[in-house]
Copies of this chain bind each other. A is one copy, B any other.
Amino acid sequence: MQMDERKQKVLWAIIQDYVSTAEPVGSRTLARKYDIGVSPATIRNEMSDLEEMGYIEQPHTSAGRIPSDFGYRYFVDCLMQREALQEYQRQQIRHTLIDKLQEVNMLMQQTTTILSQLTNYTAIVLGPQVGKTTFQRIQLIPIQPNKVVVVVVTSAGIMESRIIDVPDSVSADDLQLVADLINSELAGQTMKQVRNSLYRNLSQLLKKQKQVLVQSLELIDQAMQAEREEQVYLAGTLNIFKQPEFKDVEKIQNLLGILEEHDLVRNLLRGVESEGVSIKIGTENHHEGVRNCSMITATYQVDGEVLGVIGLLGPTRMEYSKSLAVVENLTEQLSVALKRLFGR
């Protein structure tokens, strides 16, 4: 059997209707609401064909049809007309990102929030991957007798800090010495490189300040550890409740549970194309907890280098066109904002 123009028209209409009503679509409805130009009976025949071809399915005998994952896939690949973003939405994004650009964390959180607001789905963003950013400086700041704050700064402006205890015998000069040493040895290296040269080159150099040194290095190590796992930002998790397919408590609990496990979320987003926009529909997702969800993801980059991913999680019955427009525009503007923040 062949996909012809009328079949496309019918499939398009079915998806259109189902996306907006969440109810199975019957032949009469299609004939009435959409301009297909043939009678319900003919549409029925076409629908029967479409079902046989796998594009749509019937929840039960006497109900209308709903699109299958395969049907959505065809829609996304062949039928969907690209939508441009409304000017006011574009504006809204620009506003949100420009105001907050002083700090990466805030910028990412804002990005996530605006994404969920504009789409009414759940937004997931993976923060800049810092294996690629470089170690910049360590700073030892005495705050009380015997107490020192250690701050690790990366080129992304992300940092880890910790209070450590030091023995009386360590003076402010000693601290400076340690800091200078670490800084001169390691500055500008990527986190991976730091990790490699860390213990080899440094640990035998100092005796007296050993404890401080060790603890500082531990923190750097930890910073790397922590940041190898990209930060997960979430927003609009409660938008799930708006979807009629999630009126069931179990399903909501399930999905919220997954979203709480940031490791899972990371894996979910990592499993997509290495660059650019990707749409995963229903069972195309590897994780089985999101088999009835679709995910639109896009990478963002600075100076041509992919830094992270932004993603949108909704029901398979998703407004693909609109959502895609938002995701695309947002990555673009996010990339710009990030470049301003720490691009070369």
Chain A residues proximal to chain B, CB less than 8 Å: 102-103, 136-137, 139, 141, 143-144, 147, 149, 151, 153, 155, 157, 159, 161-164, 238, 241, 247, 249, 252-253, 256-257, 260, 341-342
User: CB distance B159 to A161 under 8 Å?
Assistant: yes
By a CB distance below 8 angstroms, the chain B residues around A241 are 249, 253
What are 18 inter-chain pairs, A to B, with CB distance below 8 A? A102-B164, A103-B161, A103-B163, A136-B141, A136-B143, A137-B143, A139-B151, A143-B157, A144-B342, A149-B153, A151-B161, A157-B162, A157-B163, A163-B341, A163-B342, A238-B257, A241-B253, A249-B252
CA distance A144 to B260 in the complex (A): 36
By a CB distance below 8 angstroms, the chain B residues around A249 are 241, 247, 249, 252
CA distance A149 to B157 in the complex (A): 7
Give 9 A-B pairs besides A139-B141, A144-B342, A151-B159 with Cβ atoms closer than 8 angstroms: A102-B164, A143-B157, A144-B155, A149-B153, A157-B161, A157-B162, A157-B163, A238-B256, A249-B249
By a CB distance below 8 angstroms, the chain B residues around A144 are 155, 342
Residue of B nearest to A143 (CB): B136
Residue of B nearest to A149 (CB): B153
User: CB distance B153 to A143 under 8 Å?
Assistant: yes
By a CB distance below 8 angstroms, the chain B residues around A143 are 136-137, 153, 155, 157
Copy number in the complex reads 2
Residue of B nearest to A218 (CB): B102
With contact pairs A137-B143, A238-B256 given, residues A149 and B159 touching in the complex (Cβ less than 8 Å): yes
Give the shortest distance, in Å, between A253 (CB) and chain B (any CB).
Answer: 5
By a CB distance below 8 angstroms, the chain B residues around A151 are 139, 141, 151, 159, 161
By a CB distance below 8 angstroms, the chain B residues around A247 are 249
Residue of B nearest to A183 (CB): B141
By a CB distance below 8 angstroms, the chain B residues around A157 are 143, 149, 161-163
Give the shortest distance, in Å, between A325 (CB) and chain B (any CB).
Answer: 27
Give the shortest distance, in Å, between A154 (CB) and chain B (any CB).
Answer: 9
By a CB distance below 8 angstroms, the chain B residues around A253 are 238, 241
Residue of B nearest to A151 (CB): B151
By a CB distance below 8 angstroms, the chain B residues around A147 are 342
CA distance A2 to B311 in the complex (A): 64
CA distance A163 to B188 in the complex (A): 17
By a CB distance below 8 angstroms, the chain B residues around A341 are 163
Residue of B nearest to A104 (CB): B163
User: CB distance A163 to B102 under 8 Å?
Assistant: yes
CA distance A344 to B144 in the complex (A): 9
CA distance A141 to B140 in the complex (A): 11
